[in-house]
Structure 1
Amino acid sequence: MKKINYKEINDQQLIDVRPQHDYQAGHISKSLNLNPGNFKKYAAYYIDLSKPIIFIVGSEDKDKLEKLSEVANELGITQLDGYLLIDEVPEEIFQTTETIPAGDFLNKSDDFILLDVRHPDEITRSAPEKNLVNIPFEELVDNYQSLDTSKQIYTLCGSGNRSTAAASFLESKGFDPKVIEGGMKAIQEVKFNN
């Protein structure tokens, strides 16, 4: 797979496959965070097959590129321009994704939207009810317009991977979401310890 220089980016789709915390700490604007574990399941919903893609990886994850390329091919993604090493991108162009600790979120009293991106079939731990909107991650691409842009959106999933991916998608659409750190697992721990 061809290595791309960040200056060669124009209108390709940028798929950042780094872990959620690395993505949150600094990423390229309009990149979608789909890690190797969820790429196969969700790429078909979010990737436009008519446009080329570039994978963004850290130098420690270059070994995952071959498998990602195979999965992309299986999904019919034929326009793979190559990969970009995030380590070679100037930090001054990075964006960050804001997060909020579960305890701080549970203490919020202002108006907001709690966007739970888990599929209803997998919800074993109920999300807090206040201002809850459930749009499974695979449906968000078609339903994000229903979200009220005047309210702060907090994304939630089981552990934080999909909520980071959802936040990355919403950021690309002009929203300013915040990810609840640790997802429902962290919310349950806070509730259990109080």
Structure 2
Amino acid sequence: MKELIFADVVDEKVIDVRTQTAFQAGHLKNALNLNPGNFKKYLDYFVGDDEKIVVVIDDVTVLDEISHDSVIGYLMADSIPEDTLVGVETIPASEFLGLETDYILLDVRTPDEITRPAPEKNLLNIPFEDLPKRLNDLDQTKTIYTLCGSGNRSTAAASYLLTQGFDAQVIEGGMKAVQAVGE
């Protein structure tokens, strides 16, 4: 896999494989966040067969974990001009639990992994891998707060929703943080 120059990336799908916190702090607009641990598991749900992929990395040691026929090269995160980066909004669990506005709480865990139930107010459960097929279930006029177990998939879900024109924010720390606040 070859290293690319930022200016050469034009129409390719950008998958940022850095940690959720690095991605949240600054990423290319319309990039999808899939960390190395979930890259191969979820890639085919979010990328078409004919799409070419460029991955954003901060460490070349992850390249073996993210090899795929559609990946044409990589960008080192520190080579991307800072003025092209955008962030993902996050909200602390305690602040989220105090919201009185209208919103959607999107739990992206699969039903069989929900051992700690999410708050029921405005709750919608769509497993992360089903999100592309179920976008019509979401109201684009409302802020969507994404939730998973720890925050990895909720960051990935928010990144995908942002590419689709939704206002999405990540609940910091996921269900673990929500549960800790509720105790």
TM-score, length-scaled by structure 1: 0.92
Q: 1:63, 1:146 → 2: CA distance?
A: 38
Deviations 1:85-116 (A, max 9, x none): 11011111101000000000000111100000
**Runs of at least 4 residues of structure 1 off by over 4 A?**
none
5+ residue gaps, structure 1 = 73-77
Larger mean Cα displacement after TM superposition, 46-55 or 125-134: 46-55
1:28-177 matches, within 5 Å, as 28-58=28-58, 61-69=59-67, 72=68, 78-177=69-168
Q: 1:80, 1:170 → 2: CA distance?
A: 22
CA drift at 1:24 = 0.2
Q: 2:182, 2:138 → 1: CA distance?
A: 27
Percent identical: 54
Per the alignment, in what secondary structure is the counterpart of residue 14 of structure 1?
A: strand
Q: 2:35, 2:117 → 1: CA distance?
A: 25
Per the alignment, in what secondary structure is the counterpart of residue 54 of structure 1?
A: strand
5+ residue gaps, structure 2 = none
CA drift at 1:146 = 1.8
What is the count of residue pairs matched by the alignment?
A: 183
Q: 2:22, 2:136 → 1: CA distance?
A: 28
TM-score, length-scaled by structure 2: 0.98
Deviations 1:25-64 (A, max 9, x none): 0000111100001112111111112011111001xx2111
Deviations 1:116-174 (A, max 9, x none): 00000100000000000000001001101220111111000000000000000001011
Q: 2:85, 2:181 → 1: CA distance?
A: 32
Q: 1:66, 1:124 → 2: CA distance?
A: 33
